[in-house]
Amino acid sequence: MFDGLLRHPSRVVLVLPVLVAAGLGACSSDADTAGPANSNKEDAAPALDDATSPDSGAACVSTRDFFARQVWPILSAKCTSCHAPGETASTGDNGAHPAAGFTLAWDSYPDFLDRNLAGLSRMVTEEIRGVPKLLVKPIGGDTHGGGALFGKDAPEYAVLKDLAARISNQVPDCPASGGSPLDAVPLLDWKSTFRKAAINLGGRLPKPEEASMADEAAFDKALTALMTEPTFFDRVKEMWNDALLTDGGDRVQTSVFQFDAVEFPFAKGGQMGRDAFCAGSADVPACIRDFDKRWSAIGRALLAEPLELIANVVRKNAPFTEVLSAPYGMANPYLAQLYGVESQFPAPSDTNVEQWQEVQIVRAKAGPFAHAGVLSTPSFLGRWVSTPTNRERARSRMTQKVFLATDILKLAQRSLDTSSLTGVANAPRNSPACTVCHSVLDPVANSFSNFSDSSSFDQDLKITAATNPHQEMLPPGLGVTMMPGAETKMLSWLGTAMGADTRFPLSVTRVAYQGIVGRPVLAYPSYGDAATFGDRFDAWNAQDHAVQGFASAFVAGKLDFKALVRAIVKSPFFRAASVPPTVPAALSAELGAGHLLTPEQLDRKIRAVTSAVYTPGGWGVGQPRPHRLLGDVRTLYGGIDSFSVTARATAASAVITSIAARTADEVACQVTAWDFTRPAAERTLFPAVELTTVPGAGDADIRKNIGLLLDRAWGGAHGPADPDVELVYGIFQGTHDELAKASPAPPFEYNCQGRWDRTKDQVYSCGTQGQPDYVAQCYTFDATLPAPAQIGEDKQFTIASWMAVLSFVFSDYQFLYE
Amino acid sequence: MSHLSRRRLLQAGGLGVLSLALPWTRGARAGGAYAGPLVMTVHAGGGWDPTLFCDAKAPTADIQQRLYTTPTQVGAISAAPIDLLDYQTGVKLDNVPAFFAALGSRFLILNGVDTQTNNHDTGTKHVWSGKTSEELPSLAALAAAQGAASYPLPLAYMSTGGYEATANVVQLTHVPGQSTAKQFLLPHTVNPDEVVANQRSYFSADTLARISAAQAARLDAVAKKAGSKREADAVAAFNGSHQRMAALGALAQQLPAKPVTAAVAFPALGSGYRSGELDGYLQSAELALHAFKSGLAVSASLGLGGFDTHMTHDRNHTRQLGMLCLTLRYLLTAADALGVADRLYVVVGSDFGRTPTYNVDNGKDHWNVTSMMLAGPGIRGGRVLGATDDKLRPLRVSKDDPSQVKGYDDATATRILPAHVQRALRKKVGIDAALAAPFGLPVDMPLDDMLA
C-alpha cells in the first residue's frame, strides 16, 4: 500500500553549476511590463542545472533529483497549463472524463515529484512507433492537442530524452550516492536530546534516573516511557488541534440544538433551557446549578471528542488510520448522557470528567450511528459546517488538508474569470476553470452526504452514494475512485479509502513535524528569487527526503503515531547541535534550537521548574485551577484560538516578549517567598540558601544555588565559575545592595508574600456552604498557609533579590526557547 | 542609537543588509520619532458586494437587485440608495449615499477590479499583495518594514485580521482588544488597570535596569553561540523585540481611560445600542491610531467579517456594510483629531465581489469582480476609476488615461488588476525600490500614476 514511500533513493543533493540554456527556462526577474495581456506574469521556471547524466562527467544524481532539477522546470512552464488536474488535457480526477492524456500535479500537491515521475514513466514505456510518447507529444506528434512545444533540437527535448533514457534503464541511475547535507550536522547527545524531548513532549524535566542517559538504547527506553505519560497525550491533542481547529469554543456549532431530541432524548432537557427545565423542581437553585454544570461539561466534552479520539488511538498504539475509520466515538460520563450510553459509565462528577472511553452511539429511532473516526464527530462537523451552497465543501477541504496533505486553496492560484462563465451550466463540474479545484473537492464533499447541508448532527443512512442529494456535484469518492453506488456508510468508506492513500502517512507526518519542531514542512520553493532558488531547492529537497523517511518509519512502524514521533525526535531537525556552513542556508533555518515555546509549552515548563501552576488569581468553585498563559493572553503570546487566530507565532515580537516579561515577574512574585516557606529539602528553587544568606558571607551558597537554578531552568551544568552564574550573581548582589541602602525600605508587595501554598486550593468564605450563594459568589484561591509558616516580611531583602533573579531567569532566551 | 544596537535592529527586522540602502535610515540617524507614511488596510472579509455600496447597478436582465431600482449619484460615485440596518436590533447604522456625501471626497473608488478568482484565500492574497501565486507582503507590511528598518517600532505592523502575510520583511503583532492591551504595554506594573497614581512596579527602576543590562549581555553571548541560522534568527528576533518592547509604555499613557464604543462615537445610534462586534472594530481602529500617534506603529490591518453572504444576502450584507461605514467614519474622524490623517493611507478592499444574481437561498455567491477604496495624502478623492457593465463584468480602462473606460474586450486597454493597485500604492507611499524588488508585480499595462 505504501510502497511508493519506500522506493525512492534518499539524500542526494548536489550543488551544480548553472547553465542558462539559450533562454530556455531562464529564470527571469520580474520585468515590470512583461507578461500576457491582463494577467500577472507568473514566475518563469528557474535556470537549469548542468547536465548530470552519469556519463556526462558531472557529478551523478538520481533520476528523482534529475527530474526535480531539470525536468520539472520544463513541465511546470510548458505542460501543466493543460495537463494539471482538471485542465483540458488531463483525465480529470473523476475517471469519467473522456479526454485522453496524463495528469501533472502542481507542486502544491504532496509527493508531486514522485507522482509526476511515475506519470512520465508511463509516457516512456508507452511508445508510438517505437518512440516513447514522452518524446513524441511535446514536438507535436500523435496529434498532440497542444501542438509542438519545441523542436527536436531544443534543449528541452535533450533533457526529456535524457530522462527517457534513465527511466528505460539505458542510463544507470545513481541512487543515494551523494549523501545529504543533514549527514554533516552534529547532533545533541542523548541526554540533552532527552531533556528537550521531555520538555517538548512531556512538559517536565528529566527525572534523576534519566539524567545519566548515555546511549541510544537508554534514550529509546526513556522516550517510550515518556510517550505513555498524560502530558504526551495533551501534546498530541494540541498538535492535532492546530491542524483540525476543532477546539474553538462557543463558535463551534455543537450546541444542544444540533441534536435531534427524538434521536437523542437527553437533548430535550437541554433544549428546554434551564428555567423551563427546572420550573417544577423542588429545589430550583440547585437544579439550575446542576443544569448549567451538566451542559457546560457536555459542551466541553463535545469539543474535546475528536482530539480525545486521536489520543485514544495513539494511546492504544493502534494504526493511525483508525483516526479516520474508527467505528466508535468517544465520550466521558457527561457526554455519555447526551449520546444515550450513560449505562456504560459511572455517574458524572468533577473527578471523572477525564474518564474517556470508546462508545457506539445508538439513536432512539434510526439505530446505530455509522462512525468514521474524527470525521463523524459533532465537533468536526460543527466546526466545518455545511450549508445549502457550501454543500459539505468546507468539510472536504479540511479533511483533505489535514489527512491528505492537499490544500485545495493552493490549487486555485492561477487566473480565473467567473464573469466569463455566465453561459456555463454547472460550472464547478463543467468548466475547466472550476474543475481544477472541484474535481478534487467535490467527491470528498459528497461523501459527507449522509449529513444534511446544515450544522445538525443528523446522519441519514438511507441515503446512498447513488442517491446523494448533490447530484449536480461529482459523485462521492476519493480522487479517481468512485464510491460504490449502494454504499450507505459513506464517511466510513471515505475514511478507509483515505487511510489507504499514500498521502495519508505523509500528511500525518507533516502535522507531527510541525507540532514537534515548531515549523511547517517547507513548501516547494517558488522561483521568485533566482539567486536563492538553488539554496532553497537544496533545502527543500533535503527536507523532503527526510520527511519521506519519517513517513516511511511511520509506515514501517505499522502506522503507530509514536513511531513517527520517535523518528522526528531523533532527526537533525530536532537534535541539531550546530550546523556547518556547508549546509544550505535555507536548511540551516530549519534546524536546531530556536523554537519559541508555545504558551502551552511555556505554561508546562513553568510548572515543571517551579512546581506551581502559573495562575491569574481567583477562580470558580469546583473549577480546575486556571492557567494564566492559556487565558486571555494565549493569543498574545503567539497561541491560537482555533478561529480568528489559527497559526502560531514562531518568532518573538515586542508583545510576546512583553508578555514574557510580565509572566516572569508574576511567576517570581508567586513562587519566591512560597518556596522559602518550605523546608530546604522540599524546595525546588532555593535548596542551597536561606533567607538569611546574604552577599559576602553567603556568596558560595548563593552561587551554588544560582547554578542549580540555571541547571533546572535552562538545562546544562552551571558551576560556580560559570559566566552565567556570575552574571546572575550580579543581579542578586546589586538588588540586595540597592534595597539595603534604601531608606525607607521599599514595601514588600502583598501578593508576593509567602502567605499561600501555591499548589493547594481553598474556597474563601463569601457565602454559606450548601446554599446557592456559596457557588454563585465564592471563589477559589491559593490556600492560606498556617500563620507560623507564613512569610510576610523581607527583612534581609533576599526575597526581593531572588525575585529579581527569577524574573531574569524566566525571561531569558534559554527559558523561553528550546 | 549606537551602531551596534542599530545593527541588531536591522537583523531583528529581517531586512539585513538591504535596509542599509534605504533612504529612510537617514531620519533615524538624526534621531526622533517615526514621522513617515502610515497605512491602515480595512478588509471586508468574505467578499463584499459593491453593487450595494460604491458600484450601484440598476437591475438588468443579468443583474438582480431587490433593494433598489435606481442608483443615487453622489458626485462621481454611483451609490446604492439604501439604509444599512442592523437587523438584529433594527437600528439604522448608516445610509450609503449619506456616507459618500460625507466621506466620498476623501476616497478614490476603483470599480471593476478583477481579482481573477472566486477563492477566498486566493482572492484575499491577490487583492492585498497583488499576486495570486505567492504570499507577497502587503503594502502594510512593506511600509512597516521600511519604517522598522530605521526606527525601533515595537508594533510596526499590527493586525486584527485580514491579509497578514509579511514574507518576513517585518514582524506582525496580533493585537488584542484594549481590555488586555495594558497587560503587555506595562509589563512590570503590578496592576496596570489601576489609576496611574496608584500603579506599582514589581521592581525599582534601578533593578529593572540591572536586569535589562544582564539580558543584553546574555543575548550577546547567546548570539555568538548560535549553532544554526534558525537559532541565530530566533536570537536576533528576540533581541530586537526586547529593544522595541521598551517603547510600549508610551502607548499605555496615550490610550484613553475607557475604550471607544459605538454608542459613544455615534450618539445617533442611541445610548442603548450595543454591539460587541462593532465596538471591537472601533476599538481596534482606536488602538492602531494611538499607536500611530505614539510613533510605535506604521501599519495596521483591520479585518471585518461577515460578508460571505450565501444566504439572506440583502439582510446580512447591509448590516456588515453598516459596520464598515461606521468603522471608516470613526477611523477618519479620529485620525483627524489625533493629527495623523495627513500621513495616513486607508485602503479598503475585500476577497472579491458577489454574483449579480441571487441563489435559491436569497444569497449571492462569489464573483471575481470587486471594488476598492483608497484614501491618503496625494490620492485624489471624489473620483471613480474603472467600471462594470450591465452583466457586472469588468470594463477595461485606457492604459494612458485610466479615467477613460473602454470596452469589456478592448485589447488596447486593460482591466484593473490588484497588481495595478498595489503598484500604484507602493509608488504613492514611497516604498523603496530595493525593498520591493524581490516582490515584483509585473503587469502588461501599468497604471502606476492612477492615484494622483
Q: Find the Cα–Cα–Cα–Cα dihedral A615, A618, A620, A622, rounded to 10°.
A: 60
Q: Please indicate whether, in this complex, the C-beta atoms of A813 and B219 are within 8 angstroms of each other.
A: yes
Q: CA A424, A428, A433 angle in degrees (round to 5)? A: 75
Q: Which of B229, B301, B369, B423 to mutate to test the interface with A (most CBs of A within 10 A)?
A: B229
Contacts of A594 (CB under 8 A, 6+ apart): A817, B226, B228, B230, B231, B232, B233, B234, B235
Confidence of residue B449 (pLDDT cuts 50, 70, 90): very high
Whether residue B393 lies within 8 A of chain A, CB to CB, comes out as yes
DSSP A817: B
Is residue A4 scored above 50 in pLDDT?
no
What was the pLDDT predicted at B35? 94
Residue with grid cell 534581609, as numbered in its chain: A796
What was the pLDDT predicted at B176? 65
Whether residue B17 lies within 8 A of chain A, CB to CB, comes out as no
Q: What is the mean pLDDT of residues A224-230?
A: 98
E strands, A574-655, in order: 619-620
CA atoms within 13 A on the CB side of A126: 13
Selecting from A38, A43, A594 the residue whose C-beta is nearest the C-beta of B444 gives A38
Residue with grid cell 473523476, as numbered in its chain: A94
Residue A346, Cβ density class (10 Å: 0-12 exposed, 13-18 middle, ≥19 buried): exposed
Residues in chain B: 452
What was the pLDDT predicted at A112? 85
CA A459 to each of CA A462, A673, B173: distance values in angstroms, whole numbers, following the listed order: 9, 57, 42
Q: What is the mean pLDDT of residues B334-354?
A: 97
Q: What is the mean pLDDT of residues A608-624?
A: 88
Q: How far apart (Å, rounded) are the C-alpha atoms in residues B126 and B138?
A: 10
Confidence of residue B369 (pLDDT cuts 50, 70, 90): very high
CA atoms within 13 A on the CB side of A618: 12
- Report pLDDT digits (tens) over A655-675: 899 999 999 999 999 999 999
- Report pLDDT digits (tens) over A454-478: 778 999 999 999 999 999 888 999 9
Is residue A44 scored above 50 in pLDDT?
no
Q: What is the mean pLDDT of residues B384-402?
A: 97
CA B202 to each of CA A452, A629, A799: distance values in angstroms, whole numbers, following the listed order: 57, 19, 12
Whether residue B173 lies within 8 A of chain A, CB to CB, comes out as yes
Residues of B in contact with A585 (CB under 8 A): 229
Residues of A in contact with B113 (CB under 8 A): none
Is residue A8 scored above 50 in pLDDT?
no
Please give the mean pLDDT across all residues of chain B: 89
% of residues, chain B, pLDDT over 90? 72
What was the pLDDT predicted at B196? 78
Beta bridge partners of A329: A359
The alpha carbon of residue B412 is apart from the nearest alpha carbon of chain A, in Å, by 9
Confidence of residue A389 (pLDDT cuts 50, 70, 90): low
Is residue A7 scored above 90 in pLDDT?
no
CA B294 to each of CA A421, B291, B429: distance values in angstroms, whole numbers, following the listed order: 50, 5, 20
Q: Please indicate whether, in this complex, the C-beta atoms of B443 and A33 are within 8 angstroms of each other.
A: yes
Q: Which of B55, B114, B194, B211 to mutate to test the interface with A (most CBs of A within 10 A)?
A: B211
Q: How far apart (Å, rounded) are the C-alpha atoms in residues A618 and A777?
A: 12
- Report pLDDT digits (tens) over B40-87: 999 999 999 999 999 999 999 999 999 999 999 999 999 999 999 999
Q: How far apart (Å, rounded) are the C-alpha atoms in residues A517 and A569?
A: 8
Nearest chain B residue to A816 by CA: give it.
Answer: B238
What was the pLDDT predicted at A48? 36
Selecting from A389, A437, A585 the residue whose C-beta is nearest the C-beta of B361 gives A389
Q: Which of B127, B131, B134, B184 to mutate to test the interface with A (most CBs of A within 10 A)?
A: B184
E strands, A365-439, in order: 367-368
- Report pLDDT digits (tens) over B420-431: 999 999 999 999
Q: Which amino acid, residue A209?
A: E
Beta bridge partners of A127: A132
Q: How far apart (Å, rounded) are the C-alpha atoms in residues A576 and A564?
A: 18
What was the pLDDT predicted at A234? 98
Phi/psi of residue A552, nearest 5 degrees = -65, -40
Confidence of residue A52 (pLDDT cuts 50, 70, 90): very low
Is residue B198 scored above 70 in pLDDT?
yes
Is residue A431 scored above 80 in pLDDT?
no
Q: How do B394-395 and B172-174 pair as beta strands?
A: unpaired
What was the pLDDT predicted at A433? 59
The alpha carbon of residue B291 is apart from the nearest alpha carbon of chain A, in Å, by 13
Is residue A93 scored above 50 in pLDDT?
no
Whether residue A209 lies within 8 A of chain B, CB to CB, comes out as no
Is residue A159 scored above 60 in pLDDT?
yes
Q: How far apart (Å, rounded) are the C-alpha atoms in residues A371 and A382?
A: 15
Whether residue B6 lies within 8 A of chain A, CB to CB, comes out as no
| CB of A543 closer than 8 Å to CB of A18 | no
Contacts of A215 (CB under 8 A, 6+ apart): A190
DSSP sequence for B397-411 = B-SS-TTSB--TT-T
Q: Please indicate whether, in this complex, the C-beta atoms of A652 and B234 are within 8 angstroms of each other.
A: yes
Q: How far apart (Å, rounded) are the C-alpha atoms in residues B156 and A653?
A: 10
Q: Find the Cα–Cα–Cα–Cα dihedral A462, A468, A470, A472, rounded to 10°.
A: -150
What was the pLDDT predicted at A18? 26
| CB of B140 closer than 8 Å to CB of B426 | no
- Report pLDDT digits (tens) over A491-548: 999 999 999 998 999 999 999 999 999 999 998 887 666 678 889 989 999 999 999 9
Is residue A9 scored above 70 in pLDDT?
no
Q: How far apart (Å, rounded) are the C-alpha atoms in residues A355 and A87?
A: 51
Q: How far apart (Å, rounded) are the C-alpha atoms in residues B7 and B30?
A: 16
Nearest chain B residue to A653 by CA: give it.
Answer: B241
What was the pLDDT predicted at B19? 31
Alpha carbon of residue A68 to chain centroid: 27
| CB of B187 closer than 8 Å to CB of B199 | no
CA B408 to each of CA A500, A574, B73: distance values in angstroms, whole numbers, following the listed order: 49, 56, 23
For A:748-767, CB contacts with B below 8 A are: 749, 751-752
CA A128 to each of CA A18, A168, A585: distance values in angstroms, whole numbers, following the listed order: 34, 15, 45
Is residue A26 scored above 60 in pLDDT?
no
Q: How far apart (Å, rounded) are the C-alpha atoms in residues B223 and A316?
A: 43
Please give the mean pLDDT across all residues of chain A: 85
Contacts of A237 (CB under 8 A, 6+ apart): A304, A307, A308, A310, A311
E strands, A710-817, in order: 756-763, 779-784
Q: Please indicate whether, in this complex, the C-beta atoms of A592 and B228 are within 8 angstroms of each other.
A: yes
Whether residue B392 lies within 8 A of chain A, CB to CB, comes out as yes
What was the pLDDT predicted at A468? 93
More confident residue, A803 or A424: A803
For B:187-206, CB contacts with A below 8 A are: 187-188, 190, 200, 202-204, 206
% of residues, chain A, pLDDT over 90? 60
What was the pLDDT predicted at A435? 62
The alpha carbon of residue B102 is apart from the nearest alpha carbon of chain A, in Å, by 32
For A:39-58, CB contacts with B below 8 A are: 39-43
What was the pLDDT predicted at A37? 30
Q: What is the mean pLDDT of residues B17-36?
A: 48
Whether residue A744 has a cis bond before it, omega within 30° of 0: yes
% of residues, chain A, pLDDT over 70? 84
More confident residue, A95 or A146: A146
What was the pLDDT predicted at B112? 98
For A:722-751, CB contacts with B below 8 A are: 723-724, 727-728, 730-731, 734-735, 738, 746, 749, 751
| CB of B170 closer than 8 Å to CB of B13 | yes
Whether residue B30 lies within 8 A of chain A, CB to CB, comes out as no
Q: How do B383-385 and B108-114 pair as beta strands?
A: parallel
In this predicted complex, what is the ipTM? 0.84
Q: Please indicate whether, in this complex, the C-beta atoms of B132 and A40 are within 8 angstroms of each other.
A: yes
Q: How far apart (Å, rounded) are the C-alpha atoms in residues A545 and A276?
A: 61
- Report pLDDT digits (tens) over B89-138: 999 999 999 999 999 999 999 999 999 888 787 789 899 999 876 678 99
DSSP sequence for A320-357 = TTHHHH-S-EEE-HHHHHHHT-GGGSPPP-TTSTT--E
Q: How far apart (Å, rounded) are the C-alpha atoms in residues A710 and B63?
A: 70
Q: Please indicate whether, in this complex, the C-beta atoms of A662 and B187 are within 8 angstroms of each other.
A: yes
